[in-house]
């Protein structure tokens, strides 16, 4: 039997959850004040996901780096591949806040989007 503890981040209360796992399956979840904590714990054990936030190189822009994030959380297990992918990714300016940088990021079905606008050098865009 394995016991794991983590904080539910589904609401500001931040319940400290304790999950007992046996043979890869959840036996018991405790510490949650509501049912969302159960869902959170199940997702953390069976399919943990995180929103990726990072920066990528931008060519011809007023900044050298473009801040990006995944529109929704992606599987935690893809984070290493994601960072390697972003290391080589280059985007051309201009880019507007919310623009899709990669539509199907690492075949997750989730888009990678820009989290700020970056104008082209010597040519300001409306959204800056």
Q: Which residues bind ligand SF4 (CB under 6 A)?
A: 8, 10-11, 13-15, 32-34, 36-37, 40
Residue 15 C-beta: closest distance to ligand SF4, Å: 3
Q: How far is the CB of 8 from ligand SF4 (least distance, A)?
A: 3
Distance of alpha carbon 10 from alpha carbon 115, whole angstroms: 23
Kindly tell me which of 37 and 94 has the beta carbon lying closer to ligand SF4: 37
Cβ-closest position to ligand SF4:
37
Query: Which residue number, 4 or 33, has a Cβ lying nearer to ligand SF4?
Result: 33
Task: Assign residue 30 a region (left: φ > 0; alpha: ψ between -120 and 50; beta: otherwise).
Answer: beta
Kind and range of the H or E element at 23?
Answer: none
């Amino acid at each position: 039997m394995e016991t794991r503890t983590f904080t539910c981040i589904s609401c500001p209360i931040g319940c400290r959850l304790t999950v007992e796992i046996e043979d890869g399956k959840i036996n018991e979840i405790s510490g949650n004040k509501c049912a969302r904590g159960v869902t959170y714990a199940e997702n953390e054990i069976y399919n943990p996901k995180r929103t990726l936030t990072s920066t990528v190189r931008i060519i011809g822009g007023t900044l050298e780096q473009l801040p990006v994030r995944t529109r929704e959380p992606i599987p935690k297990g893809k984070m290493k591949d994601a960072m390697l992918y972003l290391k080589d990714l280059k985007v051309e300016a201009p880019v507007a806040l919310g623009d899709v940088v990669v539509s199907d990021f690492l075949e997750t079905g989730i888009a990678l989007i820009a989290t700020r606008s970056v104008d082209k050098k010597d040519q300001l865009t409306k959204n800056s």
